């Protein structure tokens, strides 16, 4: 791992680190993606991967432009970048999803995709509005150009136990429903936790389709390593159960990745209590400040990948990488560790 961080710091220092993999100590190629187009240094967060038309598409959050690098008419705030790959290692940026609707004018982030009936559905959140940030929806035929839902934003949290904010969403099919998990905060905006919503699987997923499930969080921080934050839900189905991967701790707290399991999508049991599934790296490693914000992808061959974000400098740069997951005795584990 120290070999990886040395390469990263060298390349960043000379501005020559685009979107290329690096080699670990054993000589294996490791995905290390960072979009430097907006800041002049690698910066990509909140990964989500989809396979469409024989290629992989990576959706990620990209930071506001540095004023010196911004082209004429550059949009304000954050946006969602799109990159493509044929091997999950080498990535090329192919587009951005930029603000269009009034609710998005300050930025948008955290694109999460699911293919339903041949259409790519994108769920994401507005950004830069504090308590007013909310979940939005768009649809695409090709995974690159999206048509916004006219009812956006479609979801905010409700109840006196939360602030109403809605960020960091992801979705999964569950019977005749689509379940959507997202993060909100308590009324004081200090504690981050997860909420569940459901819509009919054959609805249009507009605002009227969604119903909040329960009058309280699905998961809230309880363990020491979760500090005051559980966010970035990433659900996947395995052996008939829903596994919910999540980020515990705010960015660079450090955030680390845990997992909980459920049979009904509402009542979850943590699988990693004493320590997270994927902790932040040791001093000198590329992810020493954080291993966070998981995104789960299951390839055609059944292999499960956990994409995640990390950095060695408390957020000056952000990189995306992945690990392979295996399953044993009802629990996920990281292959090779």
Q: Which domain holds residue 262?
A: 2-334
Q: Under DSSP, is residue 77 helix (H, G, I), strand (E, B) or coil? A: coil
pLDDT at 209 > cutoff 60: yes
Cα separations in angstroms, 4 against 29, 42, 310, 334: 10, 14, 12, 19
pLDDT at 65 > cutoff 50: yes
**Residue 138: both structure tokens together:** 């768009």
CATH number of the domain within which 227 lies: 2.115.10.20
User: Which bin fits 128, alpha (ψ -120 to 50), beta or left (φ > 0)?
Assistant: left
Owner of token pair 């060695």: 312
Give the pLDDT confidence score for residue 221 in this predicted structure.
98
Read off the pLDDT of each residue in 196-215 and give the average, rounded to a whole number: 97
Of 279 and 19, the one with more pLDDT: 279
Give the pLDDT confidence score for residue 23 in this predicted structure.
78
Give the pLDDT confidence score for residue 19 in this predicted structure.
63
Q: How many domains does the chain have?
A: 1
**Mean pLDDT over each residue of the chain, to the nearest integer:** 94
217-232 pLDDT, tens per residue? 999 999 999 999 999 9
**Residue 318: both structure tokens together:** 């952000």
pLDDT confidence band for 188 (50 / 70 / 90): very high
Give the pLDDT confidence score for residue 72 in this predicted structure.
93
72's CB contacts (< 8 A; 6+ apart) are: none
Read off the pLDDT of each residue in 191-201 and give the average, rounded to a whole number: 98
Of 28 and 48, the one with more pLDDT: 48
Give the pLDDT confidence score for residue 14 in this predicted structure.
32
Q: Are 245 and 296 in contact (CB under 8 A)?
A: yes
1-33 pLDDT, tens per residue? 454 544 454 344 333 344 668 877 777 889 999
Q: Are 314 and 288 in contact (CB under 8 A)?
A: no
Query: Which of 68-77, 147-156, 272-281 is predicted least confidently?
Result: 68-77
pLDDT at 152 > cutoff 50: yes
Give the pLDDT confidence score for residue 337 in this predicted structure.
83
Q: Are 311 and 321 in contact (CB under 8 A)?
A: no
Cα separations in angstroms, 162 against 165, 234, 286, 328: 8, 21, 35, 36
Adjacent-strand bridge partners of 51: 56
Read off the pLDDT of each residue in 164-178 and give the average, rounded to a whole number: 98
Give the pLDDT confidence score for residue 4 in this predicted structure.
52
Q: Under DSSP, is residue 103 helix (H, G, I), strand (E, B) or coil? A: helix
Cα separations in angstroms, 75 against 64, 65, 67, 135, 159: 8, 8, 11, 20, 34
Give the pLDDT confidence score for residue 13 in this predicted structure.
38
pLDDT at 77 > cutoff 70: yes
Tell me if the pTM is above 0.75.
yes
Owner of token pair 């990433």: 234
Query: Which of 18-32, 140-154, 234-248 is predicted least confidently?
Result: 18-32
pLDDT at 52 > cutoff 60: yes
């Amino acid at each position: 791992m120290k070999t990886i961080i040395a390469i990263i710091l060298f390349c960043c220092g000379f501005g020559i680190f685009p979107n290329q993999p690096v080699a670990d100590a054993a000589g294996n190629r490791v995905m290390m993606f960072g979009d430097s187009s907006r800041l002049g240094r690698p910066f990509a967060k909140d990964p989500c991967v989809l396979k469409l038309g024989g290629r992989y598409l990576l959706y990620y959050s990209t930071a506001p432009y540095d004023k010196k690098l911004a082209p004429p008419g550059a949009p304000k705030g954050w946006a969602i970048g799109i990159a493509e790959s044929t091997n999950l290692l080498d990535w090329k940026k192919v587009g951005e999803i930029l603000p269009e609707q009034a609710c998005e004018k300050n930025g948008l982030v955290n694109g999460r995709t699911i293919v339903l009936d041949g259409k790519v559905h994108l769920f994401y959140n507005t950004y830069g509005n504090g308590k007013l940030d909310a979940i939005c929806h768009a649809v695409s035929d090709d995974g690159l150009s999206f048509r916004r839902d006219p009812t956006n934003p479609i979801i905010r949290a409700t109840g006196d136990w939360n602030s109403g904010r809605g960020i960091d969403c992801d979705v999964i099919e569950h019977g005749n429903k689509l379940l959507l998990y997202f993060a909100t905060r308590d009324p004081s905006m200090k504690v981050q936790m997860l909420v569940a919503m459901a819509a009919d699987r054959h609805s249009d997923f507009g605002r009227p389709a969604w119903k909040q499930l329960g009058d309280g969080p699905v998961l809230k921080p309880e363990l020491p390593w979760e500090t005051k934050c559980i966010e970035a839900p990433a659900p996947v189905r395995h052996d008939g159960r829903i596994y919910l991967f999540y980020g515990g701790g705010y960015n660079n707290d450090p955030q680390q990745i845990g997992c909980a399991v459920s049979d009904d999508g509402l009542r979850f049991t943590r699988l990693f209590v004493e320590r997270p599934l994927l902790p932040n790296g040791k001093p000198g490693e590329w992810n020493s400040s954080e291993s966070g914000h998981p995104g789960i992808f299951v390839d055609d061959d059944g292999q499960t990948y956990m994409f995640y974000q990390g950095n060695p400098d408390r957020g000056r740069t952000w990189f995306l990488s992945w690990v392979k997951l295996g399953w044993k005795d009802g629990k996920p584990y990281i292959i090779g560790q």
